[in-house]
Chain A
Amino acid sequence: MDYAGYKSTALRHPKQQLIALPHRLTEVSGPVFGDDRIGEFDNDLTQGPSGEAIGQRIIVHGHVKEDDGRPVPDTLIEIWQANAGGRYRHAVDQWPSPLDPNFTGAGRTITDKDGYFRFLTIKPGAYPWRNHPNAWRPAHIHFSLFGRAFTQRLVTQMYFPEDPLFFQDPMYNAIRDERAAKRMVSAFDYDATEDHWALAFRWDIVLRGEEATPTEEPHA
């Protein structure tokens, strides 16, 4: 859980050995959310109270699967992100880039029977932070997913292809297996692009199977 490159980990990771939790009833089950948790326009982040959000309109879509390829239907996905200028609508974010009155940066949806999801949003900007001198986060969208079971709960970040900021980003590089890190990067999807409307990025999310052994990756 510790990663020297990401400074805030220092006081926020357990130092004792994690204890193996066999997957019993509580771990192989999980909450089920109905459509009542989702508003009709919750997967469209571009509509603000007084008009459209500013920035490059993009479609972000893909499938949620288990590691055996089975789709994960009816699972809640929640996302949050910075606006086109890289600014979050949050009291802690005070860097000099303007807020957009028409962009809150939060969205949610539920996957369909094939595990498919789709958001319409604005391409987020990169933003600076104080982790190291001249530190910038590559553009990303935060994703939260439930899956079918407590063991499948995942919070992660989706990146954009060939971002020039990856090399200095400790979050991206905390995933030391390069192939695994690349699974956080979406693909430009020209076929899904809508003419005179929006560019598109595809991102498939793979949740570990219910019986999979615990992943060691981020503990490395």
Chain B
Amino acid sequence: MTLGTTPSQTVGPYLAIGLPWPDGPDVVPEGTPGRLRLYGRVLDGAGDPIGDALIETWQADPDGKFGTAFRGFGRCATDEEGAWEVFTLKPGRLGDGQAPHVDVNVFARGMLNRCVTRIYFADEDNTGDPVLESVPEARRTTLVARPDADGYRFDVYLQGERETVFFKV
């Protein structure tokens, strides 16, 4: 017997009441060796920042393992500039040939469902990654975070010319 699943609904405009955690962005606490900053903005189809979105991240530990003491999970609400940040360790390469990556959920008012994307790293060897290879080449760059003075930058474009690649899970 298969039960019918409960449908998804939007998080609405008031997610800030229930979802942010004080330590949400700290996948690892301050002072952890190797701690890096993943950051960016969430923008709508007009290029305007989305100030009521929530980003969640889920990833393997630096050895490419799950189910270890590493929390692996980050959560950050966007501010009025659409900006978010998460402090974490770089995930390792997985045993099945996948390059280091972070799975991402995007929630916001006006979205009936979460949007799912992935972050890869520009300073890693991403060749041969089966998921990246399933994406049309011209759009792959939307999945790659670029290192700069402030961390690794990853902007999410929900629509438009630079629309981020989103996945059906």
Residue-wise, chain A 115-146 has the 8 Å CB interface mask toward B (1 for contact) of 00000000000000000000000000010100
Contact A106 B103 (CB under 8 A): no
> A214: which of B3, B163, B165, B168 is its contact (CB, 8 Å)?
B168
| A156 to B94 Cα, complex, angstroms | 32
Stretch at the interface among B9-17, B28-36, B145-153: B9-17
Which residues on B sit within 8 Å (CB–CB) of A9?
110-112
> B168: which of A21, A93, A107 is its contact (CB, 8 Å)?
A21
Please list the residues of chain A having a beta carbon within 8 angstroms of any beta carbon in chain B: 1, 3, 6, 8-16, 18-27, 29-32, 65, 67-69, 78-80, 88-90, 92-93, 104-108, 142, 144, 150-151, 153-157, 171, 174-175, 179-181, 183-184, 205-209, 212, 214-215, 217-219
B59 on interface, CB distance cutoff 8 Å: yes
> B6: which of A29, A108, A150, A205 is its contact (CB, 8 Å)?
A205
Beta-carbon nearest neighbor of B108 in chain A: A12
Beta-carbon nearest neighbor of B12 in chain A: A142
Which residues on A sit within 8 Å (CB–CB) of B14?
80, 88, 90, 92-93, 142
Main secondary structure of the interface of B (DSSP, over half): loop
Contact B114 A174 (CB under 8 A): no
Residue-wise, chain B 39-82 has the 8 Å CB interface mask toward A (1 for contact) of 00000111010101000101110000011000111000000000
Given contacts A11-B159, A13-B158, A26-B58, contact A1 B113 (CB under 8 A): yes
| A20 to B58 Cα, complex, angstroms | 18
Which residues on A sit within 8 Å (CB–CB) of B13?
90, 92-93
15 CB contacts below 8 A, A to B, read A12-B50, A13-B111, A24-B131, A31-B58, A32-B67, A68-B3, A69-B3, A80-B18, A80-B19, A93-B14, A154-B8, A155-B9, A180-B5, A180-B7, A218-B8
| A12 to B66 Cα, complex, angstroms | 32
> A25: which of B94, B134, B166 is its contact (CB, 8 Å)?
B94
B141 on interface, CB distance cutoff 8 Å: no
Contact B166 A156 (CB under 8 A): no
Which residues on B sit within 8 Å (CB–CB) of A65?
3
Contact A218 B7 (CB under 8 A): yes
Most interface-central of A6, A88, A153 (chain B CB within 10 A): A153
8 shortest interchain CB distances as A-B pairs: A80-B18, A8-B110, A21-B167, A31-B73, A11-B45, A12-B110, A18-B168, A29-B66
Contact A26 B60 (CB under 8 A): yes
Which residues on A sit within 8 Å (CB–CB) of B105?
153
Chain A: minimal CB distance from B121 (Å): 14
Which residues on B sit within 8 Å (CB–CB) of A31?
58, 71-73
| A179 to B6 Cα, complex, angstroms | 10
> B158: which of A12, A25, A144, A218 is its contact (CB, 8 Å)?
A12
Given contacts A8-B110, A21-B116, contact A89 B7 (CB under 8 A): no
Given contacts A26-B103, A31-B72, A31-B73, contact A11 B110 (CB under 8 A): yes
Contact A11 B44 (CB under 8 A): yes
Contact A15 B3 (CB under 8 A): no
Which residues on B sit within 8 Å (CB–CB) of A150?
58, 103, 169
| A69 to B166 Cα, complex, angstroms | 30
